[in-house]
Every structure is written in structure tokens, then in C-alpha cells.
Amino acid sequence: MLSYLHSFHAGNFADVHKHAVLSTLLQVATQKDSAFAYFDTHAGRGHYALDSAAAQKTHEYKQGIAKLWALQGEWPKTLRPYQELLNKTGANPRYYPGSPLFAAQALRAEDHMILFEQHPREYPELSELLKRDKRAHVHNRDGYEGLLALLPPKQAKRGLVLIDPSYEVKKEYQQIVRLLLAAQQCWAGGTYAIWYPLLPDEQHLRLKMKLKASGLRNIYCHELRDINTEKARSMQGSGMLIINPPWSVHGAWYPLAQCLVEILRQNDQATAHSEWLVPE
């Protein structure tokens, strides 16, 4: 039974982090001539109203995208890929796009996106949103099993996989390690971007430890730590692991983390971390 609904969290500081990293990866991927495949194992509904009852209950977007809107378009240069895609989606202070819409704005006619969403209320929304987009293949299917069934992509040799679970159950951390090991067997050349929360129980440290011991290589780690330290049980920071990141992005990782921390920090302890978990 899936109880998580992203509408309560859309546009929060973790979404800003995840989508800024995603936009940077999408921008680089679509600069090459050959066709490209984008996979989203946990796609969500694709669009979120920030004046909905859910968003107004938590007000999480106020500590996220609202801080960027407050800059009145004067965003740091390092956030340009995010800003450009966000603007193309038609985002505004009452509406925030999900990851599939960032991809839809970046992809070209020859590219493809393969999206998985299992929730019975979220899938129809996503499917309706993209029903006229011939590049989109939307599956009401488990993203872990679906991804492995469809790798390597038939449509393109190059591609990016976003893995963005809700971590409703603790076993998802283990499941991600198993998924990545199996996915790399079928498609070693793909780029994989995994989002995870930094919670007080520090489960993410086990995820990183297991990946480090797994034999997988070329794993970059991008974290915004201690953004929010006020509430004892809530998410304190946001992390992304990027396997096989394109070389042309390497110089951008630290400035991106630093600039996001400066904008999103809720206290003086917040810090930016950008380093190899496992080098090539």
C-alpha cells in the first residue's frame, strides 16, 4: 500500500536540489547529437499545485522554490540549466513541475522518456499530462522491476536514469543497491542519479557504505547537509549520488552545491559537500 504523496512536499528544498542536479545532467545529455533515453523509476504525477490543500498543509515549498522566486530572476549562473527548464515548464509561485516535466522540456524529438509510477492516483495524472507527447512511455508499474525489464534501452545508446523513491520502507535503501548492481550488468554505460534524504537515523550512510563495497565505480556524491536542523525527526538535508557523471559537468558540482546551500540554508550550520564516493 503506497501512502506517500509528493503533493505535500513538492518544491521543497530537496526538490530544488534534485531538480537542479537533474537539469544540469539533462542539459549536458542533450548537447550531443545522438538520441538519448531518460528513465524515471519513481516519476510522481508530474505537476503540483502549490495552493493545493496538501502543499498548504506543510508549506514545505516556502523553504525551497519560494526562496528562488524571491530572487526575482537574478539567479546565480550555476543554476542556469535549472532556471531555464523550470521557466519552460511554465512554473510560477502557485505551480511546480515534477521530474518528468523537466525531462520533457529538455528532450528533443529523437529522444525518449520511460516513466514508472505505481500509485493508483498519481499514475492517471501523469499519463494524462503526457498523453500527447510521442516521446513519453508512461508505465503503471513498479519502477525497480520495470527498469530492469527495459534495460538496455532499445531506442538509444545513451541515457540517464533518475531513481527517486519515497523511502516509505527502510528496505528501499537495500533495494537500490541491488537495482544498481543489476542495472549496471545490463547497461554499464548509462548515467544513474539517485536521490536520498539526510534523516536523523542516517540510513543514507549505510546506502553509501554498501555502494562503496559493491564494486561499482565512478560514483559522485552531492549533498546539502544540515539545511534544516530544527525539528528532531524531519529531513535535515538532501543527497544525490551520480554514477557515471559526464566529465563536462565535473567543474560545476561544487559551485552548484555551494550556491544551493547559500540560498536554501535555514541556519548557520548548513554545508555543501561535493566529492567522489568511488572514483573511476
Give yes or no for a contact between 50 and 95, defined as CB atoms under 8 angstroms apart. Answer: yes
Among 11, 98, 239, 245, binds ligand SAM (CB under 6 A): 98
Q: Tell me if 197 contacts ligand SAM by CB under 6 A.
A: no
Quick one: CA dihedral 46, 47, 53, 57, positive or negative? Answer: positive
Binding part of the chain for ligand SAM, among 74-82, 117-125, 234-242, 270-278 by CB under 6 A, reads 117-125
> Which residues, in sequence order, are bridge partners of residue 219?
243, 278
Residue of 196, 2, 18, 8 lying closest to 99 (CA atoms): 18
Catalytic sites, residue numbers: 164
**Binding-site member from 66, 84, 124, 142 for ligand SAM (CB under 6 A):** 142
Instruction: Return the number of the residue (145 or 275) whose C-beta is nearest ligand SAM.
Output: 145
How wide is the angle at C-alpha 91 spanned by C-alphas 7 and 22, nearest 5°? 75
Give yes or no for residue 173 binding ligand SAM (CB under 6 A).
Answer: no
User: Which CB atom, from 2 or from 209, has the smaller least distance to ligand SAM?
Assistant: 2
Min CB(205)–ligand SAM separation in Å: 20
> Rounded distance, CA 253 to CA 245, Å?
10
Give 158's strand partners: 36
Give the residue from 175, 179, 117 showing the smallest Cα distance to 142: 117
Instruction: Return the bridge partners of 276, or none.
Output: 220
DSSP state of 78: G
Considering only 63, 78, 99, 184, the residue that binds ligand SAM (CB under 6 A) is: 99
Task: By CB under 6 A, name the one of 155, 166, 258, 266 that touches ligand SAM.
Answer: 166
Closest distance to ligand SAM from the beta carbon of 81 (Å): 16
- Based on the shown chain and the rule CB under 6 A, indicate whether residue 118 belongs to the binding site for ligand SAM: yes
* Helix (H), strand (E), coil (C) string for 170-221: CCHHHHHHHHHHHHHHHCCCCEEEEEEEECCCCHHHHHHHHHHHCCCCCEEE
Q: Is 42 in the site for ligand SAM (CB under 6 A)?
A: yes
Question: Cβ closer to ligand SAM: 237 or 278?
Answer: 237
Among the residue ranges 66-74, 77-85, 114-122, 212-220, the one whose residues contact ligand SAM (CB under 6 A): 114-122
Of positions 20, 23, 44, 252, contacts ligand SAM by CB under 6 A = 44
Residues that bind ligand SAM (CB under 6 A): 2, 4, 6, 18, 40, 42-44, 98-99, 116-119, 122, 142-144, 164-166
